[in-house]
C-alpha cells in the first residue's frame, strides 16, 4: 500500500456546517441555541432539547458492555471539504479548525469512543469577556510579581475548548467504627523549685463508637481530560447544569473539543475517592465530641449512575520566567482558575514585617 493510500484509509468522516443561504460556514452563536453564518449572518436554530439533569446511565450494566475500558489514544486524519487539505488533529481532539483555511471541522465522537456525551453546556461567555475575567484575576492575585501584572496587560490568545467531564450519582450506606474524644480538665501536682504547686490541665477521654451514615450523591464531577492540568479542571466545580442541552455536534462548530481520555471505570474510582472524603466528614460529625478517630469505614454504593458531559472552557497559558502557567476560564460563568507564580520577595517582606510587629508587641509587653 502506498503512503497516499494508507493516509487516505485513515481519513475519517466529519461534519462541516454550511450556510444554506450563501454556502459559508456556520459557527455556534454564543449565548444562543443556534448556529450563525460568519458571512451573511443567517441564523439556523440547533434542534435539541434541554438536558434532563436527573438523567443518569446505569453504571454497572454500561461498564460490562464496554469493549475498551480505557480508551486508546487517537489522531483523527481529516480531509477538509473547503480547501481539500488533509491533516491530523491533535491527540484525542475531535473538533478543531482546518490549519490551512480555518474551516470548522467536527468528527463524530462515536467513531473512536463508545460512549457519546449525554449533555453539553454551550459557551455563554465570549472570548473578550473571558480575557477581561483573566486580567481581573491576575491583577487581584496576592503576592504576584509586578512584572506578571504587566504581562497580563498584553492580550493572550485563548482557545475555546470543550472538555469532557464524568458526573456520578450514588446512594451510599457507610458503616464505621472509631472513637469519640471528650476534653476534661483535671488538676495535677507538680514541684517547682522544691515547692508543690497544682495546675489545671486539659486531657482527652476516648470512648469506642460505631454507627452508620447515609448520603445520596448527585453529579460528582470527574474531569476526563489528561491534556489539561487535572488540578485545574478538578478545581472548576461550579457549573449550572440546568442550562445544559442534549449533546449535538453543532455546538462544537468553531471550537476545539476533546475526547475523554480517562475511561469510565477509572473515573468512577476517582469519584469514589471524592465521595469517601465527604463521607469521612459526615462520620466525624456523627461521632461528635471534641475529637474523632475513624478506625474502619465500609461503604456500600447503590444505584450508581453516570453521565458524560462536555463543559466549555477558555484555555490558555502564559510563559513567565521560562515556565508555562496554564489557566482556564469557565465558558459559562467566567470564573478563572490558574496556575500562578509567586513573588518570593513579596512573601518574604510580609513574613519579616509580621515578625517585626510581633517582636515589637513582645518588647512593649515585657518592658
40 binds Zn ion (CB under 5 A): yes
82 binds Zn ion (CB under 5 A): yes
Number of residues that bind Zn ion (CB under 5 A): 15
Helices in 127-220 by DSSP H: which ranges?
A: 127-139, 146-152
Q: Which of 12, 15, 24, 156 binds Zn ion (CB under 5 A)?
A: 24
Q: How far is the CB of 327 from Zn ion (least distance, A)?
A: 30
Q: How far is the CB of 86 from Zn ion (least distance, A)?
A: 10
Which residues lie below 8 Å from residue 152, measured CB to CB, with a gap of 6+? 134, 135, 138, 139
CA-CA distance, 311 to 225, in Å (whole number)? 11
E strands present in 259-365: 291-320, 323-330, 336-338
Q: Which of 42, 44, 132, 286 binds Zn ion (CB under 5 A)?
A: 42
Q: State which residue, 100 or 362, has the beta carbon closest to Zn ion.
A: 100
CA-CA distance, 57 to 67, in Å (whole number)? 17
Point out which residues pair with 18 in neighbouring strands. Answer: 25
How is residue 50 written as a grid cell?
434541554
CA trace torsion 247, 251, 252, 254 (10° rounding):
180
Q: Which of 46, 56, 80, 264 binds Zn ion (CB under 5 A)?
A: 80
Helix or strand (DSSP H, E) at 358: helix 344-365
100 binds Zn ion (CB under 5 A): yes
Q: How far is the CB of 16 from Zn ion (least distance, A)?
A: 9
Q: State which residue, 88 or 302, has the beta carbon closest to Zn ion.
A: 88
Q: How far is the CB of 124 from Zn ion (least distance, A)?
A: 24
Q: State which residue, 28 or 307, has the beta carbon closest to Zn ion.
A: 28
CA-CA distance, 244 to 331, in Å (whole number)? 12
Per CB under 5 A, the segment of 2-10, 76-84, 287-295, 299-307 that binds Zn ion is: 76-84
Point out which residues pair with 30 in neighbouring strands. Answer: none
Q: How far is the CB of 42 from Zn ion (least distance, A)?
A: 4
Q: What are phi and psi of 303, to 5 degrees?
A: 50, 50
CA-CA distance, 276 to 298, in Å (whole number)? 10
Q: Which of 93, 103, 253, 261 binds Zn ion (CB under 5 A)?
A: 103
Q: How far is the CB of 128 from Zn ion (least distance, A)?
A: 23
Q: State which residue, 100 or 342, has the beta carbon closest to Zn ion.
A: 100
Q: Which of 35, 36, 37, 336 binds Zn ion (CB under 5 A)?
A: 37
Q: How far is the CB of 26 from Zn ion (least distance, A)?
A: 8
Angle, CA of 228, 229 and 230, to the nearest 5°: 105
Q: Which of 56, 74, 78, 98 binds Zn ion (CB under 5 A)?
A: 98
356 binds Zn ion (CB under 5 A): no
Which residues lie below 8 Å from residue 167, measured CB to CB, with a gap of 6+? 56, 219, 220, 221, 222, 241, 306, 307, 308, 309
43 binds Zn ion (CB under 5 A): no
How is residue 132 written as a grid cell?
477581561
Per CB under 5 A, the segment of 7-15, 41-49, 162-170, 210-218 that binds Zn ion is: 41-49
CA trace torsion 31, 262, 169, 246 (10° rounding):
30
Per CB under 5 A, the segment of 30-38, 178-186, 222-230, 320-328 that binds Zn ion is: 30-38
Q: State which residue, 85 or 351, has the beta carbon closest to Zn ion.
A: 85
Q: State which residue, 22 or 204, has the beta carbon closest to Zn ion.
A: 22
Closest-CA residue to 336 (of 309, 358, 318): 318
How is residue 320 written as a grid cell?
513567565
Q: How far is the CB of 19 from Zn ion (least distance, A)?
A: 3
Q: Within 13 A of 37's CA, how many CA atoms are on the CB side?
A: 13
> Interface residues with Zn ion (CB under 5 A)?
19, 21-22, 24, 37, 39-40, 42, 80, 82-83, 98, 100-101, 103
Amino acid at each position: 500500500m502506498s503512503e497516499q493510500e494508507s493516509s487516505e484509509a485513515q481519513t475519517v468522516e466529519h461534519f462541516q456546517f454550511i450556510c444554506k443561504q450563501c454556502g459559508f460556514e456556520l459557527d455556534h452563536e454564543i449565548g444562543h441555541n443556534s448556529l450563525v453564518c460568519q458571512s451573511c449572518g443567517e441564523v439556523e436554530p440547533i434542534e435539541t432539547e434541554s438536558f434532563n439533569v436527573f438523567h443518569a446511565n446505569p453504571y454497572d450494566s454500561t461498564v460490562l458492555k464496554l469493549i475498551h475500558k480505557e480508551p486508546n489514544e487517537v489522531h483523527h486524519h481529516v480531509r477538509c471539504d473547503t480547501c481539500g487539505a488533509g491533516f491530523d488533529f491533535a491527540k484525542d481532539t475531535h473538533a478543531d479548525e482546518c490549519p490551512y483555511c480555518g474551516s470548522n471541522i467536527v468528527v463524530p465522537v462515536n467513531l473512536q469512543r463508545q460512549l457519546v456525551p449525554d449533555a453539553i453546556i454551550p459557551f455563554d461567555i465570549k472570548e473578550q469577556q473571558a480575557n477581561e475575567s483573566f486580567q481581573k484575576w491576575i491583577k487581584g492575585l496576592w503576592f504576584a510579581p509586578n512584572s506578571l501584572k504587566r504581562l497580563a496587560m498584553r492580550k493572550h490568545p485563548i482557545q475555546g475548548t470543550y472538555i469532557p467531564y464524568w458526573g456520578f450519582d450514588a446512594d451510599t450506606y457507610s458503616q464505621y467504627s472509631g472513637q469519640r474524644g471528650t476534653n476534661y480538665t483535671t488538676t495535677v501536682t507538680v514541684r517547682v523549685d522544691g515547692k508543690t504547686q497544682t495546675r489545671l490541665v486539659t486531657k482527652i477521654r476516648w470512648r469506642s463508637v460505631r454507627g452508620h451514615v447515609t448520603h445520596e450523591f448527585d453529579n460528582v464531577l470527574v474531569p476526563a481530560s489528561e491534556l489539561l492540568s487535572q488540578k485545574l479542571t478538578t478545581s472548576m466545580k461550579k457549573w449550572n447544569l440546568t442550562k445544559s442541552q442534549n449533546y449535538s455536534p453543532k455546538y462544537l462548530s468553531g471550537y476545539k473539543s476533546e475526547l475523554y481520555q480517562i475511561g469510565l471505570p477509572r473515573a468512577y474510582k476517582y469519584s469514589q475517592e471524592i465521595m469517601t472524603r465527604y463521607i469521612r466528614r459526615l462520620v466525624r460529625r456523627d461521632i461528635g465530641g471534641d475529637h474523632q478517630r475513624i478506625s474502619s469505614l465500609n461503604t456500600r454504593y447503590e444505584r450508581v449512575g453516570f453521565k458524560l458531559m462536555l463543559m466549555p472552557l477558555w484555555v490558555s497559558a502564559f510563559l513567565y520566567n521560562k515556565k508555562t502557567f496554564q489557566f482556564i476560564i469557565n465558558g459559562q460563568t467566567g470564573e478563572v482558575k490558574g496556575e500562578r507564580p509567586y513573588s518570593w520577595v513579596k512573601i518574604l517582606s510580609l513574613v519579616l514585617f509580621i515578625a517585626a510587629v510581633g517582636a515589637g508587641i513582645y518588647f512593649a509587653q515585657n518592658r
